[in-house]
């Protein structure tokens, strides 16, 4: 009987074990976990609701959702896609719901339901931190240790490690008064890091010390390495009108000035902004609240169009995000075969999940990556064991 060890009882490790039980029922699979319980992180995913995948119907290219590892994900998702994830959990008794934003959750809204299904029937041994060197008696070792920072054993074996850096975090901004709008949501905004190509769109949430929300988390993911390199100090350019250009903003302001000439600027605002946000923008553009729309000169209008579409702040730090965070970097994809995730230089060693240099934006994409990679390893091992059996016969 073949013996397979999995190091790390997280999403990828437990799912790999489940798929191995299905694909090679004859194998003996043991999962080793450093903590006192398996799947601790999965239990808190999605704020305890577990956003286990996404329909991907708003995704036109995987580069949008996997800033690192999109090519690998494209290849592996032919074998295990979001639809396979949904079918698998449903076949294992979990009813699912796809929200309007295309994120998929268990209907029960309980991450513990996912934990229960993932650990069912597995041989999990908790309480010991392992390296593959601790498991010489196994025919294959699968490393699914997640996004940690200790890669010393792998470095010693000569594997290339991409320096791990955090991803998915809100920004702390130098105070400008924006923080007084804390709690304000801007539904259609865009954000970029000044002087770089990093750009994201979507909902921005103004917080008591900066900005957060899907748009900002996505930008933090795209620019994770750049922001780490510049010590989380960089210019942030906000377009409060989504992808509207400065010229579009000028046209809109001219239209309002014509139609609402006699009204005070403070009393009539562009639809996209709340009244408090608009008052703040008037201050940013240096326009008095008591001015009438008809009295707004060209220069003032230009200034307002500029602050609406390229309002610049200074990022002064990274705010920990308790809802979801991941590590960018880890074991470089150059170390593994892209179809099987088998280590090229160490026989019988496989990797899956966040330990590899693959990570996604929020929305269920990180867990989908864990399921997809875990399935790829299980398939590869099933093929390998099949070959071994044929060779033995």
Nearest approach in angstroms of CB 130 to ligand FAD is 4
For ligand FAD, the binding residues in 129-158 under the rule CB under 6 A are 129-130, 144-146, 148
Among 21, 23, 28, 44, binds ligand FAD (CB under 6 A): 44
Nearest approach in angstroms of CB 10 to ligand FAD is 2
* Site for ligand FAD contains 10 (CB under 6 A): yes
* Site for ligand FAD contains 357 (CB under 6 A): no
* Site for ligand FAD contains 221 (CB under 6 A): no
Can you read off the two tokens belonging to residue 208?
A: 């008591």
For ligand FAD, the binding residues in 157-186 under the rule CB under 6 A are none
* Site for ligand FAD contains 41 (CB under 6 A): yes
Instruction: With beta carbons less than 8 A apart as the criterion, state whether 259 and 252 touch.
Output: no
* Cβ-based nearer residue to ligand FAD, 7 or 186: 7
For ligand FAD, the binding residues in 45-74 under the rule CB under 6 A are 45-46, 50-51
Stretch that binds ligand FAD, among 233-241, 247-255, 339-347, 359-367 (CB under 6 A): 359-367
Site string for ligand FAD, 278-317 (x = CB under 6 A): ----------------------------------------
Please, what sign has the CA dihedral across residues 87, 4, 161, 166? positive
The Cα-based distances of 71 to 25, 62, 66, 151, 302 in angstroms read: 31, 8, 9, 24, 43
Among 73, 253, 367, 377, binds ligand FAD (CB under 6 A): 367
Q: Please, which residues bridge with residue 200 across strands?
A: 191
* Site for ligand FAD contains 325 (CB under 6 A): yes
Stretch that binds ligand FAD, among 269-277, 333-341, 363-371, 376-384 (CB under 6 A): 363-371
Total interface residues for ligand FAD by CB under 6 A: 37
For ligand FAD, the binding residues in 113-132 under the rule CB under 6 A are 129-130
Nearest approach in angstroms of CB 107 to ligand FAD is 15
Stretch that binds ligand FAD, among 66-74, 199-207, 217-225, 348-356 (CB under 6 A): 348-356
Residues engaged in binding ligand FAD (CB under 6 A): 7-13, 32-35, 40-42, 44-46, 50-51, 129-130, 144-146, 148, 323-326, 353-355, 364-367, 370
């Amino acid at each position: 009987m073949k013996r397979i060890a999995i190091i790390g009882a997280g999403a990828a490790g437990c799912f790999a074990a489940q798929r191995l039980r299905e694909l090679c029922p004859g194998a003996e699979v043991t999962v080793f976990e450093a903590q006192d319980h398996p799947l601790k992180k999965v239990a808190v995913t999605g704020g305890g609701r577990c956003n286990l995948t996404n329909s991907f119907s708003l995704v036109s290219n995987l580069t949008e959702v996997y800033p690192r590892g999109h090519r690998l994900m494209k290849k592996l998702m032919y074998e295990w896609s979001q639809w396979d994830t949904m079918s698998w959990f449903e076949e294992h008794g979990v009813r699912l719901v796809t929200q309007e934003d295309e994120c998929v959750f268990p209907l029960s809204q309980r991450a513990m339901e996912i934990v229960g299904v993932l650990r069912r029937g597995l041989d999990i041994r908790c309480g010991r931190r392992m390296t593959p060197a601790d498991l010489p008696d196994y025919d294959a070792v699968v490393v699914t240790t997640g996004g940690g920072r200790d890669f010393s054993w792998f470095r010693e074996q000569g594997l290339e490690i991409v320096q791990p850096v955090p991803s998915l975090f809100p920004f702390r901004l130098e105070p400008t008064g924006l923080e007084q709008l804390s709690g304000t949501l801007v539904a259609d905004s865009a954000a970029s890091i000044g002087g770089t190509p990093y750009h994201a769109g979507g909902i921005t949430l103004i917080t008591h010390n900066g900005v957060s929300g899907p748009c900002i988390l996505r930008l933090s993911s795209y620019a994770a390495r750049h922001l780490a390199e510049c010590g989380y100090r960089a210019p942030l350019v906000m377009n409060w009108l989504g992808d509207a250009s400065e010229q579009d903003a000028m046209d809109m302001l001219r239209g309002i000035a014509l139609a609402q000439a006699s009204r005070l600027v403070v009393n009539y605002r562009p639809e996209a902004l709340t009244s408090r946000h608009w008052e703040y923008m008037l201050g940013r553009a240096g326009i008095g609240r008591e001015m009438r729309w008809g009295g707004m000169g060209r220069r003032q209008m230009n200034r307002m169009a500029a602050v609406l579409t390229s309002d610049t702040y200074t990022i002064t730090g990274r705010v920990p995000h308790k809802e979801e965070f991941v590590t960018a970097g880890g074991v470089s994809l150059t170390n593994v075969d892209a179809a099987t995730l088998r280590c090229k230089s160490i026989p019988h060693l496989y990797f899956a999940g966040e330990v590899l240099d693959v990570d996604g934006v929020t929305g269920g994409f990180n867990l989908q990556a864990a399921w997809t990679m875990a399935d790829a390893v299980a398939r590869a091992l099933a093929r390998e064991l099949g070959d071994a059996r044929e060779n033995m016969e």
